[in-house]
Amino acid sequence: KKRVKMKQYVVTRPLYSEDAFADVHEKIHRHHKTVRHHVKQYFTCDLKRAKNAALSLLPFIGWMRIYQLKEWLLSDIVSGVSTGLVAVLQGLAYSLLASLPPWYGLFTAFFPVIVYFFLVFCSGAFPVLSLMVGAVVTRLVPDEGPPVNITGFEGLTSDEQRVMVAASVTFLMGIMQLAMGLLQVGFIVMYLSDTLVSGFTTAAAVHILVSQLKFVLGLVVPGLSGPLSIVYTLEKIFVQIEKTNVCDLVTSILIMVVVFIVKEINDRYKAKLPVPIPIEVIMTVIACGVSYAFNFRVNYKVDVVGRIPVGYESPMAPNMQIFGQTAVEAFPMAIVGFAVAFSVAKVYSVKHDYIIDGNQELIAFGASNIIGAAFKSFAASTALSRSAVQESTGGKTQIAGLLSALIVMVVTLAIGFLLEPLPKSVLGAVVIVNLKGMLMQIREVPYLWRRDRPDCVVWLVTCLASILLGLDLGLAVGLGMELLTVVFRAQFPRCSVLANITGTDIYKDRKDYMSIYEPEGVKIFRIPSPIFFANIDFFRGKLVEAVSKILPNTFTRSSGPIEESEDESNMEELDQPTDFKDLPVQVNWNSELPANIQVPRVDVHSLILDFSAVSFLDISALKGLKAALKELIRVEVEVYIVACDVYIQKKLHSCMFFDDEVKSSMFFLTLHDAMLHILEKHPVNSENTKVCEKV
């Protein structure tokens, strides 16, 4: 492109003159609704709104109307059967994480899915939540020693007490989720960043791995909870490592190797395989047959699943005393369950082009956990493996989810006895091998360290705190660290001095470009953050630094020596303090100053403040900004503010920001407009300075 030297500058008028600003201010109109208006609008109901509410809460009504029977039914049946088999196995395995008898995992794989099958891709037991439930269960009903004194425990066995605790904490978790959904606070998940969730789930995977070692090694290790519980658990395992059951260890290693290899084959050839190989189900069937044939339980002292009662148990009311004992743990469980499920839902919603509603998800999870807890199931969230199986096997709608629940029901009511000889070490091995995805998240650390160190710190702190302090306290520590990084970024933003990209009307950080143009005596300062009470001092300091410390802090006398006079009266007069009352309010610091005062020479005549990234200012910021502007104006520095949001300008006007010194005429629409105005007012010396070029 041909470059043309600008012989004459085009001058633009300010966006707002002193008189025009008031006119523009009057044109800025915004209708502010009162609380009464919001309440009235919220409770107003008509036919259209009632229909939308019904479709929102019961979306299966919408997709059932468009269900394509011939095209979708076969795929849903195949997917439902495959997902149901995986659900049975994972239900048994995750119940061990919750420190409950295995068959209660089948309840969790059935009741929440029935309630929730029409709202998410797939619901069921989630290992992190199962582990959090297990920590509560072992705290109230420990493996060694008496349980906590709770009225409802009288006459119950240890397993029944644990089931009551798990169901009650799940019920409370469901109430919290339902309440948050009804109060429309689904946005709360936004405070859990992907980095925090990644660090938290990695720590949870470490906890799960350690908790399954006792099944893999065939050891009797009591369940522990609280800070440093993982350290104490590892200590108890290594103390009795010589008691390892060789049969359990060999079986577990064999299962893990085979399952891992076949899963890698599934991932590598998923485009060619019509259906992923259900290796967990296959190995479980083989392990059951071998265990039954060789009588592992008697001959090799292997701990097996044991008796699985036929049918479902009667509903149970939650225990109010347990509510008081578990409220602190139930809240993070509610948040974690929703956050993980919502993250997975977002992935599938983008892939399959449908919309999800966070508040609706909370209501659905709350309802499913409340009803599931009444039938003695434990906390449910999204089932990652089952969701992947359902999606990869061609499941089109939630009919597949419903069919998977029916498969679980068949196992519970009819053929559950076939799983009785299954070694628990097999379940532990299946759980461990499925932790690969969560454990491999540690590979994010080097990338985060190179790209975003504050995020890396959040990941590390969350992970380490969750490992050492427990998942509930670790989540709180991670959230606190995340909020600290937000405060740190806002309080200490990366301010910059901009320069013109030669030949354009674009202005960028002068440190990032070589071919730049900076008119003599002009500084462009940009702050990429809101200005508020916490960073106003930082902003003023960076501003002074950017304009080469043009603000004099103190008055100093002339540095020349003062000769002593022989006249004592003259000496007394010199010793008298100088009277500054007649000094003007505004002083030209570049001229000769009175009273033997000298200050550093001011090399900047114009300062442009780029407010394009300033979203708000509070009262403290307004005061600090006005003081800074007055200091600049009083040393003959012209200040211009560009790209300021119109509502910030309105706030400045309503807060009496402008006066005889700080005038509204300093505002310009764009940075280039302000620069052209300055160049017209202070022409560039062509002999000593580059001439501005424009394409």
**pLDDT for residue 484:** 92
Same domain, 255 and 372: yes
Beta bridge partners of 524: 498, 608
Indicate the SS3 state at residue 680: helix
Same domain, 233 and 320: yes
pTM score, two decimals?
0.76
Same domain, 521 and 656: yes
Same domain, 368 and 508: no
| Residue 518 predicted with pLDDT over 60 | yes
Q: Token digits for 10?
A: 């085009």
Q: Token digits for 441?
A: 């998240």
Same domain, 667 and 530: yes
Same domain, 101 and 236: yes
Average pLDDT over residues 437-456: 91
Range from 386-395, 514-523, 562-571 carrying the lowest mean pLDDT: 562-571
Same domain, 379 and 505: no
The label of the residue with tokens 């354009």 reads 504
**pLDDT for residue 287:** 93
At 354, is the pLDDT very low, low, confident or very high (cuts 50, 70, 90)?
Answer: low
Domain hosting 344: range is 69-141+159-441
- 645 versus 547: which is more confidently predicted? 645
At 2, is the pLDDT very low, low, confident or very high (cuts 50, 70, 90)?
Answer: very low
Average pLDDT over residues 676-683: 89
- 58 versus 409: which is more confidently predicted? 409
Report the CATH number that the domain containing residue 665 is assigned in CATH: 3.30.750.24
How far is 348 from 344, CA to CA, in rounded Å?
Answer: 7
Each residue's pLDDT tens digit, 6-18? 333 444 444 444 4
The CA distances from residue 186 to 193, 332, 339, in Å, are 14, 14, 10
In a domain, 40, yes or no: no
Each residue's pLDDT tens digit, 290-341? 999 999 999 999 999 988 888 888 898 999 999 999 998 899 899 888 877 7
In a domain, 504, yes or no: yes
At 553, is the pLDDT very low, low, confident or very high (cuts 50, 70, 90)?
Answer: very low
In a domain, 365, yes or no: yes
Mean pLDDT of the chain, nearest integer: 80
Taking CB atoms within 8 Å and a gap of at least 24, the contacts of 497-506 are: 497/523, 497/524, 497/525, 497/526, 497/546, 498/524, 498/525, 498/526, 498/610, 498/671, 499/524, 500/675, 500/692, 502/693, 503/3, 503/693, 503/694, 503/695, 504/694, 504/695, 505/672, 505/694
Average pLDDT over residues 215-236: 88
How far is 575 from 593, CA to CA, in rounded Å?
Answer: 20
Same domain, 402 and 506: no
In a domain, 676, yes or no: yes
Each residue's pLDDT tens digit, 152-179? 898 899 999 999 999 999 999 999 999 9
Same domain, 319 and 200: yes
- 598 versus 253: which is more confidently predicted? 253
Same domain, 174 and 321: yes
**pLDDT for residue 190:** 75
Each residue's pLDDT tens digit, 524-533? 999 888 999 9
**pLDDT for residue 57:** 62
**pLDDT for residue 694:** 43
**pLDDT for residue 573:** 40
Return the H-helix or E-strand segment holding 499.
strand 496-501
**pLDDT for residue 20:** 46
| Residue 238 predicted with pLDDT over 90 | yes
Average pLDDT over residues 86-106: 86
Q: Is 393 exposed, middle or buried (0-12, 13-18, 19+ CB in 10 A)?
A: buried
**pLDDT for residue 21:** 47
In a domain, 56, yes or no: no
Distance of CA 527 to the CA centre of its chain: 25
Same domain, 417 and 513: no
User: Number of folded domains in the chain?
Assistant: 2
> With contact defined as beta carbons under 8 Å apart, do 355 and 119 qualify?
no
Dihedral pair phi/psi, residue 125, rounded to 5°: -70, 140
Roughly what angle, to the nearest 10 degrees, separates helices 320-352 and 194-217?
Answer: 120
| Residue 56 predicted with pLDDT over 80 | no
Q: Token digits for 689?
A: 């300075």
How far is 522 from 550, CA to CA, in rounded Å?
Answer: 13
> With contact defined as beta carbons under 8 Å apart, do 259 and 280 qualify?
yes
At 552, is the pLDDT very low, low, confident or very high (cuts 50, 70, 90)?
Answer: very low
DSSP tally for the chain: helices H, then strands E: 28, 13
**pLDDT for residue 13:** 45
> Which of 402, 419, 441 finishes a domain?
441
At 592, is the pLDDT very low, low, confident or very high (cuts 50, 70, 90)?
Answer: low
In a domain, 359, yes or no: yes
Same domain, 230 and 366: yes
| Residue 410 predicted with pLDDT over 50 | yes
**pLDDT for residue 348:** 63
How far is 657 from 667, CA to CA, in rounded Å?
Answer: 13
At 78, is the pLDDT very low, low, confident or very high (cuts 50, 70, 90)?
Answer: confident
Average pLDDT over residues 246-251: 95
- 554 versus 643: which is more confidently predicted? 643
In a domain, 203, yes or no: yes
In a domain, 472, yes or no: no
> Which of 405, 422, 441 finishes a domain?
441
Return the H-helix or E-strand segment holding 25.
helix 18-27
* Of 266, 284, 256, nearest in space to 393 by CA: 266
> Which of 441, 456, 471 finishes a domain?
441
| Residue 110 predicted with pLDDT over 70 | yes
Please state, for a pLDDT cut of 90, what percent of the chain lies above it: 28
Each residue's pLDDT tens digit, 460-477? 999 999 999 988 889 889
Distance of CA 481 to the CA centre of its chain: 12
At 598, is the pLDDT very low, low, confident or very high (cuts 50, 70, 90)?
Answer: low
Average pLDDT over residues 229-237: 92
| Residue 488 predicted with pLDDT over 50 | yes
> With contact defined as beta carbons under 8 Å apart, do 178 and 362 qualify?
yes
Range from 82-86, 334-338, 480-484, 509-513 carrying the lowest mean pLDDT: 82-86
* Of 214, 307, 290, 298, nearest in space to 255 by CA: 290
